[in-house]
Amino acid sequence: MPNQVSMGALMTCTFGAAPSALVVLPKNKVLCEGPPAANIMDHVPLMNIMPFAVCSSPANPVVAAATAAALGVLTPMPCIPATSAPWVPGAPTVLIANMPALDNISKCMCNWGGVIAFSSAGTVKTMIP
């Protein structure tokens, strides 16, 4: 069974160099094993999703420009997440602030082609049916 995701959950991006922790503001007014619980709308770049060190996606315009300047040698550049769509699929049977709860099997797509997934949910006891 999937676990509920809460503040501090660790995420990885397929084009990122290091993991990042999810930031969940207490606006949902639901706590999960202490920290605030997340829903699928907690996907805002630089507010909920922090950078993954450097980005190596050739679809990222900054990486493409640096790679072109380096005569075609892939040049990773600082990550600035670009997540315009919510996490999918979430847990449709459990609502937090009238939106599906975020579980640890959900994914979020970055506009530059990366897939953001959870390596740790931030909770260990709270399961979502």
pTM of the model as a whole: 0.93
Q: Which regions in the chain score pLDDT beneath 50?
A: none
The continuous run of DSSP H or E covering 61 comes out as helix 61-69
Q: What share of the chain is helix, strand, coil (3-state, %, to 5)?
A: 10, 35, 60
124 exposed, middle or buried (CB, 10 Å; 0-12, 13-18, 19+)? exposed
Predicted pLDDT of residue 125: 85
One-letter-per-residue 3-state SS of 101-124? ECECCCEEECCCCCEEEEEECCCC
Domain ranges of the chain: 10-53+79-120
| Interval 45-66: pLDDT, tens | 999 999 999 999 999 999 999 9
